[in-house]
Structure 1
Amino acid sequence: MNNQISKLADISGASTRIIAGLMSGTSLDGLDIALCQFSGSGFETQVKVLHFVTFPYRQEFKEQLKSVSFKAQVSLQEVTLLNAVIGTYSAELILEALKLWDFPVDGVDLIASHGQTIFHAPFSLHQQLAYPDATLQIGDGDHIAVKTGIITLSDFRQKHIAAGGEGAPLAVYGDYLLLSSVEENRILLNIGGISNFTYLPAGRHADLVFSTDVGPGNTMMDQFVQLHYPGKYYDEDAAIAKKGKVNDALVAALLNNEFFDDPFPRTTGPELFNMTYLQAAQKASSQQGLPPEDILASLCEFTARSIVAAISSSIGDRPFEIYLSGGGMHNPLLTEKLSAGLGIKLKNTADLGIDPDAKEAVLFALLANECLAGGDTNFGSRQGIPSVTMGKISLP
């Protein structure tokens, strides 16, 4: 037997596994690395986050990513080159993190890399009958495996699509296994570049679990800040938006899109929600001359209303608790609007034992753990949640 295959089998059968989960989202701001210790699988999964760090991307690297991300037409050469570059860069950051934590490289069993999404194309977006749902993440797993010497799992979203899903959101799998409750109805709301939530009804009934993208999270606010406030990447503490006034006509135009009428579950990305979308809404509402702070306040209101509407229309009057994660939870104006709109005090996943900033990286580590040590969990028959194991394996 190939030594690496033998090692893979040993990791699969071990009582514990050390897995480094990697996540870089649509905000293109950096790489999250969560070093996790796993035991068991399925509902028997136990996870301990040993270390967590976020490495901000260099400005020149961000610009490279932006040049190929969320656009219908880009340089194929640049995509090909960045596929290798991102893989190698991710490996370098993993090694840097392990050095920072004084953790031995050979003590890590697996790396679980989400990769960098550069285009998400569900049918609802591309509308071409001859083509299926599709998505593309780059950052080659083989480069990570060879550079680090660690078995790497990557490209998780392709199996989801192949099995009938839309490639997103994938958080439902980890949310269900790690964070569902026998007694409490829970909503796990993640506000990254795009917002999504998982509804976990009390009792862990798989067929009642529900997960969907909602619409924009931080993406349009961040894009606007980067365009109009040089040197800033986001509106820290909503300082700019708090100075502005919400323009209801603009908010109404932003909400006037057939995406918001699509049935749940649905998925989307910055391919739709971007500055072109904003400009069209400004034109439709005759609000082209608004001060920047008013536009930012209106974008925050737009994000909040879309989240509130999605949760209210899909969950109804059932009681629930909300647990936040993602960068949007640090926006005090947005969380204030969400709490008021939903009439509930917001919590975060720290209350459930998972650092909310590390949550997505942890959940991809969990997908790798399920791929090797699990695979038997029934996630129900709900549309968009196929019961499959995900991740392509790259050997060093």
Structure 2
Amino acid sequence: MNKNVSALYEIAQKETRKILGLMSGTSLDGLDLALCEISGEGENTVVKIEQFETIDYSEDIKIEIRKVFAKKTIDFQHLVLLNEWIADLHAGMINDCLSKWNIPANEVDLIASHGQTVLHAPKFLHQQEKFPNATLQIGDGDHIAVKTGIITLSDFRQKHVAAGGEGAPLAVYGDYLLFSKKGENRIMLNMGGIANFTYLPASQNAEEVFVTDTGTANTLIDIFTKQFFPEKSYDKDAEIAKSGTVNQELLSELKSNVFFQKSFPKTIGQELFNHDFVNSALVKLSLENISAPDLLASLTRLSAETIAEAVLFVVQNTKTPIEEFTVYMSGGGARNPLLVKWLQELLSCKFEKSDVLGISGDAKEAVLFAVLANETVAGGNYNFGSKKGIPSVTMGKISFPD
């Protein structure tokens, strides 16, 4: 037997596995690294976070990624070069963290690398009948495995697409395995660049689980904060938006986009929610001179209303009063007081930070990919039924270090 296959077999048999989960989102802020000790599999999965670190991307890294990010027309050679370059950068960050944590590479069983999304193209968005849903993440797993000496699982989203999904949201798998609780209806709301949530029924029946993107969370707010205030990367504590007034005409125009009329579940990204999405509405309504506070207030309200409407759609289909639900928030949006305030006004249920469930909201997505890797090597027995958007598959390509 090949020694790498033998090593993987031994890892699968272990009572606990040490898995390093990596996540870099569409906000392009940096790389989250969560070193997890995972025991069990499926609904018996138990995770302990041993170390967590976020390494910020330099401005140079952001500039290089933005040359291809969410664009239909790009320099294809640059994309090819980035695939290896991002992997090498991530491998270097891994090695630096392990050294800082004083953990030898041979004590880490697996790396679970999400990679860097550069384009998300569900059929709804590309509108080309003969082509399927598509998504692309770069940062090749072979390069990470070779540079770190650790077996690496990567490219998780392709299996989801191959099995009939749109490649997102993948949080549903980890949400169900880690956070489902008998007797409590939970909404696991992640507000990163894009907002998505997982509905976890009080019955714990996997076939009742539901997941969807809702639209923009922080993406548009961040884009226009940077446009008005180049020294700011985001509207900290909603200080700018709180001083503005929502422009109802603009809000209505933005919400009239066909994406918001599309049935659930659905996925989306910055391929839609970008400068042009807002600027075209501003031009149409002759609002090119709208103030920064009013625009940011309107965009924050857009996030709040579209998230709330999506949650209400799911809640109403359960025939359970919304008062019996708890929303657990994670992502940067959970730290936006205006967004949270408006959500609480629109949804008459209990709100909590997801941190109260024992896993830091900042680490949650990196942890979820570690859980996906654990399922691929040691589990994969969940069954979400035939529900659209949640294929019951294990994910991730396996790369050996030699």
For this structure pair, what is the TM-score category when the shorter chain's length is used for normalisation? Answer: over 0.9
Separation in 1 of the partners of 2:176 and 2:294?
Answer: 39
Separation in 2 of the partners of 1:177 and 1:296?
Answer: 36
Separation in 1 of the partners of 2:263 and 2:101?
Answer: 45
Name 2:343's counterpart in structure 1. Answer: 338
After superposition, the C-alpha distances for 1:301-343 in whole angstroms (9 at most, x for unaligned) are: 1111110111112221442100011111111111111111112
- Asked if 2 retains the 8 angstrom alpha-carbon contact of 1:253 and 1:282, the reply is no
Q: Which SS does the other structure have where 2:103 is aligned? A: coil
Name 2:334's counterpart in structure 1. Answer: 329
After superposition, the C-alpha distances for 1:172-207 in whole angstroms (9 at most, x for unaligned) are: 001111101111000000000000000011121111
Separation in 1 of the partners of 2:183 and 2:286?
Answer: 49
Deviates more, 1:230-239 or 1:152-161: 230-239
- Asked if 2 retains the 8 angstrom alpha-carbon contact of 1:206 and 1:380, the reply is yes
Separation in 1 of the partners of 2:379 and 2:385?
Answer: 16
| 1:207-218 equivalences in 2 (<5 Å) | 207-218=207-218
1:352 shift after superposition = 1.1
Q: Quote the sequence identity (%).
A: 55
Separation in 2 of the partners of 1:352 and 1:81?
Answer: 40
One-letter identity of the residue aligned with 1:221: I
- Asked if 2 retains the 8 angstrom alpha-carbon contact of 1:165 and 1:383, the reply is yes
Say whether 1:166 aligns with 2:166.
yes
The RMSD of aligned alpha carbons is 0.9
- Asked if 1 retains the 8 angstrom alpha-carbon contact of 2:207 and 2:383, the reply is no
1:344 shift after superposition = 2.8
Separation in 1 of the partners of 2:380 and 2:359?
Answer: 23
1:101 shift after superposition = 1.6
Deviates more, 1:356-365 or 1:278-287: 278-287
One-letter identity of the residue aligned with 1:340: E
Q: TM-score, normalised by structure 1?
A: 0.98
- Asked if 2 retains the 8 angstrom alpha-carbon contact of 1:23 and 1:114, the reply is yes
Name 1:371's counterpart in structure 2. Answer: 376
| 1:1-396 equivalences in 2 (<5 Å) | 1-316=1-316, 317-318=321-322, 319-396=324-401
Q: Spell out structure 1 runs of 4+ moving beyond 6 A.
A: none
Separation in 1 of the partners of 2:115 and 2:228?
Answer: 29
Separation in 1 of the partners of 2:355 and 2:95?
Answer: 27
Separation in 1 of the partners of 2:151 and 2:97?
Answer: 17
Separation in 2 of the partners of 1:195 and 1:275?
Answer: 18
Separation in 1 of the partners of 2:243 and 2:53?
Answer: 32
1:286 shift after superposition = 2.7
Separation in 2 of the partners of 1:94 and 1:227?
Answer: 33
After superposition, the C-alpha distances for 1:113-160 in whole angstroms (9 at most, x for unaligned) are: 000000000001011101000000000101100000000000000000
After superposition, the C-alpha distances for 1:55-88 in whole angstroms (9 at most, x for unaligned) are: 1100111111111100111110110000000001
Which consecutive residues of structure 1, in runs of 5 or more, have no partner in the other structure?
none
Aligned length: 396
After superposition, the C-alpha distances for 1:247-274 in whole angstroms (9 at most, x for unaligned) are: 1111111111111111111000000001
- Asked if 2 retains the 8 angstrom alpha-carbon contact of 1:253 and 1:284, the reply is no
Q: Which SS does the other structure have where 1:232 is aligned? A: coil
One-letter identity of the residue aligned with 2:359: I
- Asked if 2 retains the 8 angstrom alpha-carbon contact of 1:134 and 1:166, the reply is yes
- Asked if 1 retains the 8 angstrom alpha-carbon contact of 2:141 and 2:152, the reply is yes
Separation in 2 of the partners of 1:240 and 1:96?
Answer: 37
1:395 shift after superposition = 0.4
One-letter identity of the residue aligned with 1:393: I
Separation in 2 of the partners of 1:128 and 1:292?
Answer: 37
Which consecutive residues of structure 2, in runs of 5 or more, have no partner in the other structure?
none
After superposition, the C-alpha distances for 1:207-236 in whole angstroms (9 at most, x for unaligned) are: 110000000011111111122211211111
Q: Which SS does the other structure have where 1:36 is aligned? A: strand
1:348 shift after superposition = 1.6
Q: TM-score, normalised by structure 2?
A: 0.97
Q: Which SS does the other structure have where 1:68 is aligned? A: coil
Separation in 2 of the partners of 1:308 and 1:183?
Answer: 23
